[in-house]
Structure 1
Amino acid sequence: MKTVLSTLNAKYIHTSLSIRYLKAYAAPDYEVELAEYTIKDPAMNIVTDLHTKKPDILGFSCYIWNIEETIKIIKMMKKINPSLVIVLGGPEVTYDTREWMESISEVDFIIIGEGEQSFKQLLDELNGERNFSAVSGIAYRENGTVHIKPQRNKIDLKELPSPFRFEEDLSHLAKRVTYIETSRGCPFSCQFCLSSIEVGVRYFDREKVKDDIRFLMNNGAKIIKFVDRTFNISRSYAMEMFQFLIDEHKPGTVFQFEITADIMRPEVIQFLNDNAPKGLFRFEIGVQSTNDATNELVMRKQNFNKLTRTVTMVKEGQKIDQHLDLIAGLPEEDYHSFKKTFNDVFALRPEELQLGFLKMLRGTGLRLRAEDHGYVYMDHSPYEILRNNVLSFEDMIKIKQVEDVLEKYWNDHRMDETIEYLVSNVFDSPFEFFQQFGTFWDEKGWTRIGHQLEDLYKHLYDFLNNSKSDDIEIVSGFMKYDYLRNQKYKPRKPWWTDALSKQERSEIYRSILDNPLLLGEEFASKKFTEKDLFKHTVIESLPFNINHYLKTGKIIEENSFILVHYDSIQTKTIVYYGLTKDINSKVS
């Protein structure tokens, strides 16, 4: 019987590790074909492609982000071919399995939990005696009745074959994220997370993992993301892997990890600061909440002081970008408590701050005890909460308004100096800035449309004008500075009205050319002509002393200028700073 395993990824760049493990484990007895799509692909296109493969057995890996679209595909496939055997697996259908079997009559089997052995046993029976009661870890139908066979022993991870050696995957490695796991399970019991259900942590064979990583790098993989729930739970193991990756990495490869920051020892961070190449590692850290009472209610152990120490040490090392996560809607965290959580974490200035909303995942303790905290949540995936006993739906809307502008104006790093000045000097707190701007953004209807870079600057300027900020001139100076220094090519038409006339620019250019060392030896060595300056540079006036600010963080309101050279040959941008009066320049 021809077997096809499929899934709908959230984005094209994502890959499914689960179906590759199933394929590898089923070989060589069974040849399994993989078929990956995205949730954005039209359902009819997916059905058409799957039908051309002519499967007898069709399996889908199911998650909260793809279950709704997957059900549509299943129903269509079964109508086209009623004899097709449909198998589901994955975390979304592992819990409430009987409910899934009863509500989707088109599904013939569900693999419960860890699927490698169960799926192989199911293929044995489908191609043999069809005695499904002999298969552990599945749900199946017999004479109209749903039967559920629990899993037996956990699989020995050290015996699992590699899921990375398929010829058809090699050409895609450089263009997509490769997921890898070195362990399964989690030592913690956070009640909103599925990982809390599996007790204990099991490890794969270290040398096999290293061989897989070498293979992936040698075949062009650029982004390798470890899906271990807590990569650094074993300090010795983490140190061994960090050392291996430092020693054997290929230029351009990035490794991403989920780490628990408050258990990371300072000596480990110092080792990374001293030895890791810049950009090789990226850390994802789930903070979720800084409210101790909230963390206790979800059985989450967290020492925020130690977490702060870790994040600060890593940031000071300037080697590793950090992505910190928050969850709005946890038990007993009301709007004001969440505002404090946001400000606590934003104070760490992570490279990315991800604002998420609590999802009541099937099987989790929090979902089972939802009534204890008055949770009302979506009936369908992703089961996001609508309100609870301390957070109204109106509060949720306000926090959601923060999410869009946070992503565009902080996480994308389009205007770092501008945002830093706003949250530190203009608004009462970072949350107040993002909240007020997010509300303005939503009222303008900008959430529903796309935006060019210039639009983002204009929208911020409109917001500040509307809020009647006393610092509008200073902030607009920072916006010009951020805009010009972050361009790769000389912009044709900046978002603002030029403050300098062509004659004024010409006079400044000539004064610079008369004494080019004022802007440093690198600038003087280029031997620009006035024509070169007009063609390849932008000069702009700022309402404050930019040199003084960059050195001290303090504002002196006196005009200064920046000259920005866009090197079209090397595709790089060089910013020269100087005062129009007493030019005391430096090169950045």
Structure 2
Amino acid sequence: MCINAEKPRFLLVPTPFGGISDCPKSYLPLGLLSVATVLHNAGIETEIVDINALASDFTFSNVAEDIMARQPDIIGFSTVGAYYHLTIDMARRCKELIPKTTIIFGGPQATLTDEATVTAFPFVDVVVRGEAERSIIPLYEAISGKRDLMEVPGVTFFSHGQVIRTPDVPLIEDLDLLPDPSYELFPSINNLEIIYVEDGRGCPYRCSFCCTNVFWHKKFRTRSVERVVHLLKKLAFQYGNNKRFVFIQDTPFLSEKRIIQLCEAIKRENLDIRWRCYSRIDHLDETIVHKMADAGCDNIFFGIESGSQRMQKIIGKKLDLSNTINTTRLAFKQGPSYTVSFITGFPDETVEDLESTINLAMALKYDCGKCRDIQLHRLAPLPGSRIYEEYQDKLLLDYSFWGPWNSNCMSDKQLEMIKKYPRIFSSFYYCPTKHYSRKFWLQIHFLIGNLLRMDYAGFILHKDKRLEFPACVSKYHSLVVLPHDYEKKYGRYESLVQVARFFKKVLKQIDLQDHYLCDVMDYELAVTKVRESTDEKPFMVENFEYDVEQIIHSVEINEFHRLPKVVNRKHHTLLFTKNQEKLVTVEIPEALASMFTR
């Protein structure tokens, strides 16, 4: 592994990043940027390669050649679970192109699977575990032949037929000792709308589904308010106030005193910036949220994970849900919006628990004010988590739900690799549930995941008690038809059609087939189809039995607080189209409708 170059060239590669867009999307890899800064400050030639800007699709098939064209001596790959197969394939290809290159893995996934990774994939020369800022220079010196690799703390490697793990590197207790990240080292920095700022590291909680406290050795540390505000001021000057800043930290705002100090410092420095952060709902109240909004906060993300108090105890989240709605309503009635995360598919979750989660998700979406998004995730058994430790021998391959990016780019060879090493790729597996079948869960997740993208239909189902929601979803789940490759099409027209058909069948079962919900769903489907269309002048014609636009307007004018008091019947036909990307609806005579039928 020793390199002969006089000054070895160090390339750093962020993890592939997808989402639901049609191609990879650049993001700021903050951990990698911190390591790059340490290397750069030591006079080591260092470059971050933005593979997400280089890749033409989710296979990242062209990226290894682009990386190796830079003639690196050392490549450091950042890793996370959902994209580990892509990182491994990239590293393998890089090694094949120039075998003398040293391949280093770091980040959460490699740290938590270090021994298995270096054993299964011999082209990975070293795994750097945990925080890399203190070990990266000694590692560079070892690779350069200036010291023994055994002297480098916090690394794992395979040597002479056995895995070697050197002692953990001590955590950096005072994060202010770290240099400010050199953001200019990231090549796409000027093209980003969002700039991440590290506020702290670690989490003091021990949720059963999370591996954060293992990665950070159960320690929680923050940077000083003065240091954070100094960095914000510098970034606002360098890149402009039009950037949005996001504080990165698993649970940054645990201290009310610190939140207030940070907000006051931002105001005192006259920083006219927009920012977002993560928190727990039980650490927020009306006074704190209003101070945050006054200092420029426009969105707060908090994970509730389950709407069942029983499950809160089982998974170790331990939120008191009795005050969640009232707290959220009071805290967010003015000021920033909020984003909420839920997880379903826990081994001990019952149908009743699942329905409680759906109810709370809907209440937070419609009853509390400024909800920006509700996220509904599947449980992924992450290595190092308590759930993984308990169920690692019972994991089942999750063929049906890897998300749109993994489904789009998974090759047969990668699938075989994932099958061969379930403990390395546990994110692609699921834990069996004790109280309902996997098919039931897939149907429920499909219905609710898509319903959350049908604002008006979801609101009516949530508010009109005659519709027996969400119990009706559990009771009649077998009526849903899952589209082909549905996991790639969440929120798309094809999926929403199946959701609408399902609820129309349910309405018939409960003898409410004439409910105006049918028209509202058809209206939302028409809007979605026209908006998704790539035609120059898309259009769609739909017949209605109710004054559907009056219903929509009534819901909007009441800010989704209550159902329309009056619902008028009105048999009519609407033409949906776009004019300069703006949706337009026009009522047309029924006799003309056939002219627009394709």
TM-score exceeds 0.5 = yes
- 1:343 matched residue in structure 2: 359
8 Å CA contact 2:28–2:186 kept in 1: the answer is: no
Amino acid at match of 1:108: D
* Secondary structure of the corresponding residue to residue 66 of structure 1: helix
Alignment match of 2:235 (pick from 201, 216, 229): 216
Name the structure 2 match of 1:408.
453
Matches within 5 A, 1:461-472: 462-469=501-508, 470=512, 472=514
Amino acid at match of 1:328: T
Quote how far apart the aligned CAs of 1:164 are.
4.0
Kept after mapping to 1: 8 A contact 2:10/2:46? yes
What is residue 422 of structure 1 aligned with on the other side? 461
Correspondence for 2:135: 118
Superposition deviation, residue 427 in structure 1 = 6.1
Structure label with greater radius of gyration: 1
2:16 to 9, 29, 51: 9
1:49 to 40, 54, 66: 66
8 Å CA contact 2:451, 2:499 repeated in 1: no
What residue number does 1:298 align with? 315
Say whether 1:555 aligns with 2:538: no
**Which sits farther off after the overlay, 213-222 or 44-53?**
213-222
TM-score (norm 2): 0.75
1:392 corresponds to which letter in structure 2? Answer: S
The answer to whether structure 1 residue 326 and structure 2 residue 342 are counterparts is yes
Counterpart contact for 1:164–1:212, Cα < 8 Å: no
> Alpha carbons of 1:270 and 1:83: their partners in 2 closer, same or farther (altered >3 Å)?
closer
Q: 1:283 to 1:389 in 2, by over 3 A?
A: same
**Identity of counterpart residues, as a percentage?**
18
What is the SS of the residue equivalent to 2:99?
coil
After superposition, what is the alpha-carbon deviation per residue over 1:175-219, rounded to whole angstroms, capped at 9, x for unaligned? Answer: 343222211111211122122222232122432322322233330
Offset at residue 336 of structure 1 (A)? 2.4
In the TM superposition, residue 338 of structure 1 has moved relative to its aligned partner by 1.5
Secondary structure (helix, strand or coil) at the match of 2:346 reads: coil
Native 8 Å contact 1:423 1:430 kept in 2: yes
Cα distance 1:430–1:557, how it changes in 2: closer, same or farther (>3 A)? closer
Hey, what does 2:419 align to over in structure 1? none
Matches within 5 A, 1:132-281: 132-155=149-172, 156-166=174-184, 169=187, 172-197=189-214, 198-218=217-237, 219-220=239-240, 222-245=243-266, 254-272=274-292, 275=294, 280-281=297-298
2:196–2:248 Cα contact (<8 Å) kept: yes
| Pair 93,217 (structure 1): closer, same or farther in 2 beyond 3 Å | same
How do 1:358-369 residues align onto structure 2 when only pairs under 5 Å count? 358-369=379-390
C-alpha deviation, 1:143, in angstroms: 3.5
1:77 positional shift: 1.8
Question: What does 1:524-543 align with in structure 2 at a 5 Å threshold?
Answer: none
Structure 1 counterpart SS, 2:229: helix
- 1:24 matched to 2:37? The reply is yes
Counterpart amino acid of residue 321 in structure 1: S
Kindly report which structure 2 residues correspond to 1:355-394, keeping only aligned pairs within 5 A, or say none: 355-370=376-391, 376=396, 379=422, 380-394=425-439
Unpaired runs of at least 5, structure 1: 410-415, 501-539, 576-588
Contact 1:68 1:381 in 2 (8 A): no
CA distance in 2, matches of 1:131, 1:92: 26
Q: How many residues align structurally? A: 523
Contact 1:254–1:282 (8 Å) recurs in 2: no
Residue 87 of structure 1 corresponds to: 104
Give the deviation of 1:109 after TM superposition. 0.8
**Amino acid aligned to 1:395:** F
Q: Which residue of 2 aligns with 1:537?
A: none
Equivalent residue of 1:193, what SS?
Answer: coil
Any unmatched runs of 5+ in structure 2?
1-7, 19-24, 366-370, 399-421, 586-598
CA distance in 2, matches of 1:176, 1:545: 33
| Alpha carbons of structure 1 residues 216 and 174: separation in structure 2 relative to 1, 3 Å | farther
Q: Is the 8 A contact 2:15 2:87 kept in 1?
A: yes
Q: Secondary structure at the match of 1:382?
A: helix
- Tell me the distance in 2 between the aligned counterparts of 1:451 and 1:203: 37
- Per-residue CA shift, 1:440-463, capped at 9, x if unaligned? 664354726769987677666544
Q: CA deviation at 1:145?
A: 3.3
For the aligned residues, what is the CA RMSD? Answer: 4.1
Matches of 1:230 and 1:96, distance apart in 2: 24
Given that residues 526 and 542 in structure 2 are in contact (C-alpha distance below 8 angstroms), is that contact kept between their aligned partners in structure 1? Answer: no
Offset of residue 20 of structure 1:
0.6
SS at match of 2:470: helix
Kept after mapping to 1: 8 A contact 2:383/2:426: no
- Name the CA shift for 1:387/1:399 in 2 (closer, same or farther; >3 Å): farther
Task: Please say if residues 282 and 319 of structure 2, whose CA atoms lie closer than 8 Å, have aligned partners that are also in contact.
Answer: yes
- Residue pair 2:128, 2:156 contacting (<8 A) in 1 also: yes
Q: Which amino acid aligns with 1:255?
A: W
> Which secondary structure state, in structure 2, belongs to the residue aligned with residue 310 of structure 1?
helix
- Post-superposition offset of 1:131: 0.8
For residues 180 and 549 of structure 2, the distance between their equivalents in structure 1, rounded to whole angstroms, comes to: 58
Question: C-alpha separation between the residues in 1 aligned to 2:381 and 2:161?
Answer: 31
- Does residue 431 (structure 1) correspond to residue 470 (structure 2)? The answer is yes
Offset at residue 89 of structure 1 (A): 0.7
- Contact 1:192–1:361 (8 Å) recurs in 2: yes
Change (3 A) 1:435 1:215: farther
CA distance in 1, matches of 2:578, 2:94: 55
After the TM superposition, which of the residue ranges 347-356 and 289-298 deviates more from structure 2?
289-298
Could you give the per-residue CA deviations for residues 28-52 of structure 1, whole angstroms, max 9, x where no partner exists? 3212111122484434301110110
Partner of 1:493: 539
SS of the aligned residue for 1:105 comes to coil
Provide the secondary structure at the position in 1 that maps to 2:375.
strand
Between 63-72 and 299-308, the greater mean CA deviation after superposition: 299-308
The whole-number CA distance in structure 2 between the counterparts of 1:19 and 1:327 is: 28
Moved more, 437-446 or 187-196: 437-446
- Deviation, 1:331, is 4.5
Aligned residue identity for 2:28? T
Q: Which structure ranks higher in relative contact order (CA pairs < 8 Å, sequence separation ≥ 6)? A: 2
Higher mean Cα deviation, 104-113 or 264-273? Answer: 264-273
Match of 1:527 in 2: none
**Residues 457 and 34 of structure 1: is their aligned pair in 2 closer, same or farther, counting only changes over 3 Å?**
closer
| SS in structure 2 of the partner of residue 88 of structure 1 | strand
**Cα distance, 1:24 vs. partner?**
0.4
Once structures 1 and 2 are overlaid, which stretch shifts more, 132-141 or 288-297?
288-297
**Alpha-carbon contact 1:457-1:495 (below 8 Å) kept:** no
Partner AA of 1:334 in structure 2: T
Residues 450 and 92 (structure 1), Cα distance of their counterparts in 2 relative to 1, 3 Å cut: closer
Deviations 1:280-309 (A, max 9, x none): 421111111233343333333211123333
What TM-score do the two structures reach when normalised by structure 1? 0.77
User: After the TM superposition, which residues 26-41 of structure 1 pair with which residues of structure 2 at under 5 Å, given as runs?
Assistant: 26-29=39-42, 30-38=44-52, 40-41=57-58
Structure 1 counterpart of 2:14, which letter? T
Counterpart Cα distance in 2 of 1:563 and 1:399: 32
Give the distance between the partners of 2:74 and 2:548, measured in 1 at CA: 68
